[in-house]
Amino acid sequence: MKREKADLFPALLIGLMANVFLKGQTSYWVRPGVVTAPLSILLLAMVAYAFSCCWNTGTQGFLRWGFAALLAVGSALELLRLWQLFDCVYANSVGLLGVCFTVLVPVIYLRRVSSIAQTSNVVFWLLVGAAALLLVSVLDRLRVVNLQTVPLAGTTLQEALTGQLTLYPELLLPALWASSRSKKIDHPARLAVAVVGLDLAIHLLLELFFGAAMPGHDNPVHTAAQTGALSVFNRLEWLQLVLWSAAVSVKLALYLYAAVRLVGGRTGTTENNAVGLDRFPLYFVVMLLLCVGMRKMDLGRTLVWHNLACWTFAGLVIGKGVVEWVLSKQRFAR
């Protein structure tokens, strides 16, 4: 009844779900994916945990700004990805500015931490329901024999590992607000399991549906959703699109909150805001400029670069943390 301390874990989960559902293309086959999944989970969890530990040992201004920049670019990429999906599915119906407007306006109402937390609770369960609906609607068209018996060779395993080792910013964000040691371990582990597990499950669904044609499809989850039918209700993919847009809004609100924490934005004291209302015009302008500037880029390649940037950034922070730890040990020894 009384609103408890806001838990942003569902918001992080939503961000990861949006990443998986909106992926432009599949990146590996299920068989090698199952083999590499435990290793991927372990690596991601370890990196996230190490980042979380090293982040709190006195982070400098340029690292904060770097993280904020990563989040800003990530937000713009999400908007562009959603726009491309809409443009592909409903050509010429809504422009980039329209998508930006409809996704960014709800962020105003998600400026409080408690609002993000509670809204993400609702959106999370709606996404789970929609995913179940998607599964039930295409169940008829899933064939076990569509699973590809690819050999577990070096290339396929490498592809699977590369596809699974995507360091999403959601895995690094708990470092900003995890206070206790147990949360520092718990959140990254759960998030790593969630993202790799969900990614694998979606790949499985898609392979059962598309068979050998899986790698060649753009927006494969949406294409599969298009065939879904439940009783007299056909073409339920619009429901998925609505929820995915909602998930992106929540994700962007979380990124904005994290960015404000990083670069120290002014918060309103009377309304317990996480982000002050006066920051929004700047936020909208920055997002619009980034989207307009990046819209001509190859989105797939840009996402790969963004992933590399996240890995580099995490490596930098962890490296700095390790160096500081070694130095502190030496000082202590003297």
Partner 1 sequence: MRGCKLSAQLQRNIKFLKSIFGQSSDFYTKPMCLSGIDCCVALFTGISSPEKLSVMALDSFCRDGVPVRSGPALAEYLLKESCIAAESNPITEIDQLVEMLCNGMAVLLIEGSESAVAFSTQDMPQRSVSTPAGEGDIRGPQEAFTELLRNNVSLIRRQFRTSTLVAEIHTAHTRAGTEYCICYDKTRAPAETVQAVKKKLDSIRIPLLLDSSYFASFLKQDKLNLFPAGAYTERPATACARLCEGKIVILVSGSPNAMVVPSFFAEHFESLDDYASGAVFSGMIRLLRYLAFALSVFGPGLYVMAVSFAPEVIPVQLLAKLAQAERTTPLPPMLEMLAVTLLLEIVREAGLRSPKSISHTVSLVGALIIGETAVSAGIVSIPILTMAAAATVATLAVPSLYEQSILFRFFVILLAGLFGIPGIACGAVVILAMACGSEPFGFDYLYPLMPPGRATWQDGFVRSIWSQLAKKGEVIGGDEA
Partner 2 sequence: MGPFKAAVCSITACVCLSLTGCGQQQTLAQREIVRAVFLERQKAECKAVLLVEDTDLPEGESGYKTADGTGDTFEKAICEAELSLDGTPFYGLMDLVTMPLEADWETVTQAGQLLYEQAQPAPEMTLFLLDAKDFPLPKSAGELYDILCAATKTYKLHGGLEGLFVQQDFCALPVWQEEGMGFAFLRRGQQPVRLDSGLEAQLAAVLCGQIRHLESYYAQESAYCAADTTVQWDAEKENINILLHLRKTSLADLSGQERPQSDLESILETELQSAFQRLNQTAGDIRADPFRLNFWKTSVMETTVQNPLPQLIVEIEP
Chain positions contacting partner 1, by CB under 8 A: 1-3, 82, 86, 90, 93-94, 98-99, 101-103, 105-106, 108-110, 112, 114-115, 118-119, 121-123, 125, 232, 234-235, 238, 241-243, 245-246, 249-250, 271
Of 115-123, 138-146, 249-257, 308-316, the segment contacting partner 2 by CB under 8 A is 138-146
Taking the least distance from each CB to partner 1, the nearer of 65 and 233 is 233
Of 55-63, 229-237, 242-250, 316-324, the segment contacting partner 2 by CB under 8 A is 229-237
Angle at 37 between CA 225 and CA 254, to 5 degrees: 65
Taking the least distance from each CB to partner 1, the nearer of 121 and 302 is 121
Q: Provide, rounded to whole angstroms, the least separation between the CB of residue 98 and partner 2.
A: 4
Residue 143 engages partner 2 in binding (rule: CB under 8 A): yes
For residues 7 and 11, what is the distance between their CA atoms, to the nearest angstrom? 8
Residue 51 engages partner 2 in binding (rule: CB under 8 A): no
* Cβ atoms of residues 52 and 184 within 8 Å: yes
Residue for token pair 């690596």: 43
Token pair recorded at residue 298 = 């190859």
DSSP string spanning 113-136?
Answer: HHHHHHHHHHHHHHHHHHHHHHHH
Site string for partner 2, 196-225 (x = CB under 8 A): -------------xxxxx--x------x--
Q: Which does 86 bind (CB under 5 to 8 A by kind): partner 1, partner 2, none?
A: partner 1
Residue for token pair 């995915």: 244
Query: Which residue in the set 153, 285, 297, 323 belongs to the binding site for partner 2 (CB under 8 A)?
Result: 285
Residue for token pair 């294409």: 223
* Cβ atoms of residues 169 and 70 within 8 Å: yes
For residues 271 and 121, what is the distance between their CA atoms, to the nearest angstrom? 21
Q: How far is CA 191 from CA 60, 253, 255, 270, in A?
A: 26, 19, 16, 34
Taking the least distance from each CB to partner 2, the nearer of 141 and 183 is 141
User: Phi/psi at 234 (nearest 5 deg)?
Assistant: -105, 165
> Do β-strands 233-234 and 229-230 pair in parallel, antiparallel, or remain unpaired?
antiparallel
Residue 146 engages partner 2 in binding (rule: CB under 8 A): yes
Q: Which does 60 bind (CB under 5 to 8 A by kind): partner 1, partner 2, none?
A: none
What does the chain come to in residues?
Answer: 334
Give me the residues that bind partner 2 (CB under 8 A), please.
88-89, 91-98, 100-101, 140-141, 143-147, 149, 209-213, 216, 223, 226-227, 229, 234-235, 277-278, 280-282, 284-285, 288
